Amino acid sequence: MQPEKKQLEVLLMHYFRNCYPEFPKGKTLPSESPDFIVTLKSKNHLGIELTRLNPANAKEPDEVAIARNRTRERIIESARELFEGTSPLKLFVKFLFSETEPISEERELAVSVQLTNVVRKAIVGKKTGSFFKELVGPEALPAGLEALLIVHHPGLQVSFWERSNNLGVSENVVADIREAIHKKDEKLRYYQKQRLNYYWLLVTTDRLRGVKSYNLPNKIMNLTFHSRFQHVFLFDLIKADVFQLV
């Protein structure tokens, strides 16, 4: 069995491939430095490195935010336990909570049960031996949640049930993107030891959002980013949006 980190990377790569119509045809295999190698029909080789967008500019949560996040974590863990009590299926589930409608402690158990039922309903009829994804909108969720992302890959042997943006919400998303690219650019010379023909960088984020209310995707797409990778992509997991930055 592959390590947990690699299992998650395999799932994310299949998810990206599913959401990006221009992904080149070929055989994709897990690797190390870079994370994946795609053997193209032309016999050329494409290396793809994955990294998560780290909100280095996120502000420290106050006591209210800490307590709110603890409530959310308990809800998620209870929902996972309830689901896995009746199903052996391992899933990648992201919970996008509302920032304007907090969930009280009195509602925790009820919300957990509701979420468990939402997940069960969302996967009815799905082929568990293949990749699938489902995005559940607010109309089908209990108050206090905006979205629920469910992704499955048959190679997933462990569960990943997490709240979105659990690393924090950035105060400067553009700076964080540039820093993510810079850090991987510095390591590109190690990846190039594989002597592949092309190199891509895939930066994933749970939900593209910042503390400011402007249209963040438009702002990002109107900027110029530079990298030594042939292409750099930003992948919003919740909305399944792919932004080509380079």
- CATH code at position 50: 3.40.1350
Cα–Cα distance between 222 and 128 in angstroms, integer? Answer: 40
Out of 163, 183, 202, a domain closes at: 163
Residue 16 has a CB neighbour count (10 Å cut-off) of 21
Looking at the structure, do residues 76 and 157 belong to the same domain, yes or no? yes
pLDDT value for 1: 56
Looking at the structure, do residues 190 and 209 belong to the same domain, yes or no? yes
Q: Answer yes or no: is pLDDT of 148 > 90.
A: yes
Looking at the structure, do residues 15 and 45 belong to the same domain, yes or no? yes
Q: From residue 119, how far is each of 68, 77, 165, 233 by CA, in Å?
A: 22, 13, 20, 29
Q: Work out the pLDDT band at 2, boundaries 50, 70, 90.
A: confident
Q: Answer yes or no: is pLDDT of 203 > 60.
A: yes
Q: Answer yes or no: is pLDDT of 206 > 70.
A: yes
Q: At what angle do helices 63-84 and 108-122 cross, to 10 degrees?
A: 50
Looking at the structure, do residues 69 and 156 belong to the same domain, yes or no? yes
Q: Which of 200, 195, 172, 196 is nearest to 185 (CA)?
A: 200
Looking at the structure, do residues 183 and 221 belong to the same domain, yes or no? yes
Q: Work out the pLDDT band at 211, boundaries 50, 70, 90.
A: low
pLDDT in tens, 30-41: 999 999 999 999
Domain count, the chain: 2
Looking at the structure, do residues 78 and 154 belong to the same domain, yes or no? yes
Q: Answer yes or no: is pLDDT of 238 > 80.
A: yes
Looking at the structure, do residues 144 and 109 belong to the same domain, yes or no? yes
Out of 128, 147, 163, a domain closes at: 163
Looking at the structure, do residues 68 and 156 belong to the same domain, yes or no? yes
- Mean of the per-residue pLDDT values for the chain? 94
pLDDT value for 213: 56
Looking at the structure, do residues 140 and 187 belong to the same domain, yes or no? no
Q: Work out the pLDDT band at 117, boundaries 50, 70, 90.
A: very high
Looking at the structure, do residues 152 and 173 belong to the same domain, yes or no? no
Predicted TM-score of the model (pTM): 0.94
Looking at the structure, do residues 159 and 214 belong to the same domain, yes or no? no
Residue 70 lies in domain: 63-163
State mean pLDDT over 88-98: 97
Q: Answer yes or no: is pLDDT of 5 > 60.
A: yes
Looking at the structure, do residues 155 and 223 belong to the same domain, yes or no? no
Out of 143, 163, 183, a domain closes at: 163
pLDDT value for 56: 84
pLDDT in tens, 216-225: 888 899 999 9
